[in-house]
Amino acid sequence: MAKLYFNFSAMNAGKSTLLLQASYNYQERGMRSLLFTAALDNRTKVGEISSRIGLKSDALIYDTELDLFACIEEQLKEQQINAVFIDEAQFLTEDQVWQLARVADHLRIPVMAYGLRTDFQGKMFPGSAALLAIADILREVRTICWCGSKATMVARMDESGNIVEEGDQVVIGGEESYISLCRKHWSMRKLGEQLKTRMRSLTSCANL
C-alpha cells in the first residue's frame, strides 16, 4: 500500500538534497517521479527545486488554489507515476494535504513531502500541522545548532544579523535570512560569535 511521508526539519538541513536524490533513484531505475514545489519559493527560479550543494531539477509549481489530486490524476493519464515529491510542504493547505493522502490511498502512488515543521516564532505551519496529523510515516531530517545540539527551531535574521521576533509568517529567504537553533538558544535568542559573523557576511553579500 502506498503511503504519505512527511520529512521535516529546521532550515538548511538538506531536505531538498534528499528529495532530489530520492527522485533520482527512481529515475535511475526507469521509473517516473513527479516533482512539485511552491510558487512562493522564488529564491532561484520559480518551478525549480535547488539544493545548497548544487543539485537542481525542474518541478511543477503549486499554489494554494491547485487541486493536487486532480493534477496528479491528470498526469497519470499521460504516463505511469511511481512517486510524487513535494518540496516546501509547509506551504500546503490542509485541503491539499488531504488531497495528497488521497493520491496515496486511491491512486496508490507514494507521496514524499519535505518541509519545515515550525516558523521563526515557533508556530506550526498549516501544511506541516496537517502532515504531522495524518501522514503515515514521519521522518526528522536532523541538523545542528551552533552549540552542537540538535537544531529544532528556526530563527529569522534582519539585515544586521539580529534575530527578528515579529513579522509575517512567510518571508522567503535562505541562509542569509534564517538560521537553525536548538530550543534552548532559540528561546534565549542567542547566537555564537562565529555564527553572528557568518550571518552578517551572508546578509552583506545578499544585499550587494
Catalytic site positions = 88
Cα radius of gyration rounded to whole Å, the chain: 17
Q: Is 3 helix (H, G, I), strand (E, B) or coil?
A: coil
Query: What is the four-CA torsion angle of 139, 22, 46, 102, rounded to 10 degrees?
Result: -60
Q: How far is CA 45 from CA 35, 66, 169, 196, in A?
A: 15, 20, 22, 29
- 118 closest CA partner among 129, 108, 107: 129
Provide the greatest CA pair distance for the chain. 55
